[in-house]
Structure 1
């Protein structure tokens, strides 16, 4: 039987549904309920036909144990009442259900209020658990406030359960009862249950998680600081740090802080970080220690108008200009130092020195284009020897081609010569190259060369023939640039037809992976991903298994690499289902977990 208030809500609900949601306000309907109804319609749900959907329950043993310890002592409150207590995970999937009344149990069974069924808003519309997950706040949904037609005679009350360390919602605790038993006191009781579950979770944390929490709480006493406490799986920030950091920044932060901790840094280490919005911050990092072992990092961030350079980068005056490199992206300290170095280089005989695939030729073209030089005569020393028939300087080799290119560029201010792979010039060929470079100087022609870095300078004698050597940083020294590089390379790979956003988990894996081919290897990865299904987001699951294996938290050797790739491929084929992956590999799930830990692999379920 509905009271006057409930009847008013019911009439407003009918009006809302009849108008297709095209109403501004409704008598008796709370703003958050109206917002939830609109979301429900936006998901394409129908009140009379939408039902909970079933999905295999995920792994939430710790949450279940913490809840059972609470509900087993409270379930006597349900005796002789038409009420139930339910636990859901962070997706809205029901994990546990307690109900004592036989008739009410049958009623809930009929409505699929059963473990494994999803009660997220996008599945059945407005309900307490779904609304808690959407808003992060406790919720009471009474009778006709529900979207699902079969729930109009019920009231449900829910509260969020947050991880004690990260404060992220990991589940909800919900009470469902007959509508005529609705009471505002139910909300306080459910919130008390959630608080007790969170206390149990705190007590069940490992000692290193407790060490992280204690370090964060100590550091967070000063509200003026941006504080982050993190390890490879967990990150907790205060409000100020959260406002500063985007998802991609969080991934990069752990890579930088984790590297310092793994290297055994004592005291507090200082560094600078360029964030995804282009702002620079200084970061002070100190290890979080448990039992004499570093288990994480405590980071304090401070915004800087002009951040100091990283270690190993020469300090430059604040007024230093940077070279214009059209269409190239980067914000790292190493990239900025390269641009400043190029800004101070005059036209002449210049060589760019760097690892294979670091972008030397692309940078040379961009630097020259920024100076108005767009007509490049390219000579590739890797394609042909100095002279035909093996004679130094004989016709048909690169020597003749280089002189021809210099002559063609003579007198044209928009022309220059790009000489690639000068590491192939041997000692006997140096006089040939020296003569060609002198010829270019006489004609006033700029020659820019590229040279792949060799194990020792003695193996590249040709470097001595150039006026200026500019070091091009490897991708390993440009980790701050990986996120913008992924975006730009994806844009190019798709011909500018679509923008794909790389998730923080995917960016972190790419950042952690080794890249022997540098930017060229990164570009190959982006092309492979772009050739796959067209999606708005590139997730960790979209990355090739070989890349995820290369992102192991320690170097892998020999058969370890084979094992890592086999594990990641099996998990990809099983859509992340660890039991299915273990079955496919013919091993126990416990063995799979042990192998993953031993190899230092990153599973997609981990936050960091």
Structure 2
């Protein structure tokens, strides 16, 4: 463990450039960057942006400010009681919001750790905000670890904020207090609040995308089109997003809707017409209406099993939980990282796999293989061709077929002409199957380049009512019957039900109700009895066992990374530590 950096350590580095023993690597690297700027050492406070520039920054960062507002207010009393500040900065380290203990605010005013102060490393040397921006990682900087002597009176802990879909840096959340007063939980709190802000922003963006899709449906757009959000990401429609410069042009249209660059757009997509979709004064997206004979990518006709990119965008728009998962899956598959999708029976693993495949290779085939049915020679019959290979339940591959499956996967991965993207779908924990000897270890690592955990329907309750309407419409397709309607009381019960069979169970329930209903209105007496009868409460020991199993599963899925496990569980790292201690589990 590294020791506390003393003032003498900093003076030794400034005088001789020699790193003191025990100095953390992240601090030393930042000091070395700062030392290359001759004028930094003499700065006593951060520079300040002008009033006009600050107003522009506030407007440019309105999304993250809106997502952060409630979380900052919720922690204000804690900041005042702990004599600290909570600070929100933009990606360049300019303070957008800051509040906390009044006495600390007065001290921070002299150093410009308030609105408009610029805390990038290039502006004020080593500090948690600037160093977190440079490294892209959460950072804690204490006392004499600050490069500029004038700000060594502070301890600070900062966490970068990343866009929930694109992953781009969108800000920094920092907690700062006097160096003479211990702030043992500042780093954990900074990490937790940053995660909450990003989650809220993801929910806001999912609602925007859902509004755009609904608006497009109401317009009944005919012919070929592409629907983009205001970030230039395609939500639905034809796949021309790879056309040079098109996403950037869409972003420019959304930013300057009153002065669009139509000439550049016409050059990128000849004959296209753009319509900006507004909600109030805000431009939220763009519909690009394509000419009747648009240019299309050359290639064989897409087979029936091929997925579609708009399927993935529609999935992402239905839930704040699914939006980041879909975005991560798309980026991993584009990079040809073998993808393992895990989830309970009926959670939609195959639907997600088809949508992911269609989003990155719209015209490539999607081959689904039931691993339980593989014979010793079946894998050798697969043709080497481009596209996406989806392996269903690899843990059920017969032992005698596993060596051949491994050999074939190696051959497909090494095919330079048309390399195959690989997705594995598993209901049980595949790592547990590996550890139990059910699945070869080398086969497991060939399949699990990255793991996506698809949440069960009980964790995605916002999707239940839209799915009810969707399945009710599908149940009467090709008939003259009207789709089912549900009373408010029935909707509340259906939303509260845990759906152990997930989407499969929900679909079956709707199909059964549709077949039996004559009134086409479903009320409480029409629902299956297991949904309306009160369930006995779980015993405390059962609840504890379930919580322990969830925690252990998440730690295994993240490879023992406790910070990432805590983020996915939606709790602070310190809370995870307390849970592990209460379960009698040693921290790895």
Which TM class, normalised by the smaller chain length?
A: 0.3 to 0.5
Q: TM-score, normalised by structure 2?
A: 0.38
Bigger Rg, structure 1 or 2: 1
Q: TM-score, normalised by structure 1?
A: 0.37
